[in-house]
C-alpha cells in the first residue's frame, strides 16, 4: 500500500486464470479481467486482494462480497469458468 500512498487514481484491474493440462500435452489457459479500484486495506479475512480491491459497481471489497453475496463473485470470476467449461465439453473431455 506504500506505493499507492498519495495516489489519486486507484483504478486497477484484476487478472485471473485457470489452466488445464493433460499428460504429454501443452496446457490450455483461460483468463479474464475485472475492473475496479484499490482502497485502503480493510480487516477482511482472506488474501491481500480480498481486502483491498472493490470491483466496479460495488461498494465492498471482494472478501466482504464473498461472505455477504457469493453469487456476485461468480459474476466477476465466472467468465473464466464458463470459457473453460465450453472448451472442456467441445473437446470431449467428459
pLDDT of 27-63, one tens digit each? 999 999 999 999 987 776 767 788 899 999 999 999 8
- CA separation, residue 26 to residues 16, 22, 23, 55 (Å): 19, 7, 8, 32
3 state SS of 19: strand
Instruction: State the average pLDDT over residues 11-21.
Output: 94
> Which domain, by its residues, includes 41?
2-90
Check which CATH number belongs to the domain holding 23 and give it: 3.90.950.10
| Number of structural domains the chain divides into | 1
Do 36 and 14 form a contact (C-beta atoms < 8 A)? Answer: yes
Check whether 85 has a pLDDT greater than 80.
yes
Position with higher pLDDT, 11 vs 1: 11
Which segment of 12-21, 27-36, 52-61, 76-85 scores lowest on mean pLDDT?
A: 76-85
Using the structure block, give the residue that is written with the C-alpha cell 471489497.
61
pLDDT recorded at residue 79: 86
Amino acid at each position: 500500500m506504500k506505493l499507492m500512498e498519495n495516489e489519486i487514481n486507484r483504478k486497477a484491474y484484476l487478472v485471473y486464470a485457470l489452466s488445464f493440462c493433460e499428460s504429454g500435452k501443452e496446457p490450455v489457459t483461460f483468463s479474464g479481467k475485472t475492473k475496479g479500484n484499490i482502497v485502503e486495506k480493510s480487516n477482511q479475512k482472506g488474501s491481500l486482494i480480498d481486502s483491498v480491491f472493490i470491483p466496479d459497481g460495488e461498494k465492498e471489497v471482494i472478501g466482504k462480497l464473498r461472505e455477504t453475496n457469493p453469487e456476485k463473485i461468480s459474476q466477476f470470476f465466472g467468465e473464466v469458468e464458463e470459457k473453460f467449461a465450453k472448451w472442456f465439453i467441445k473437446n470431449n473431455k467428459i
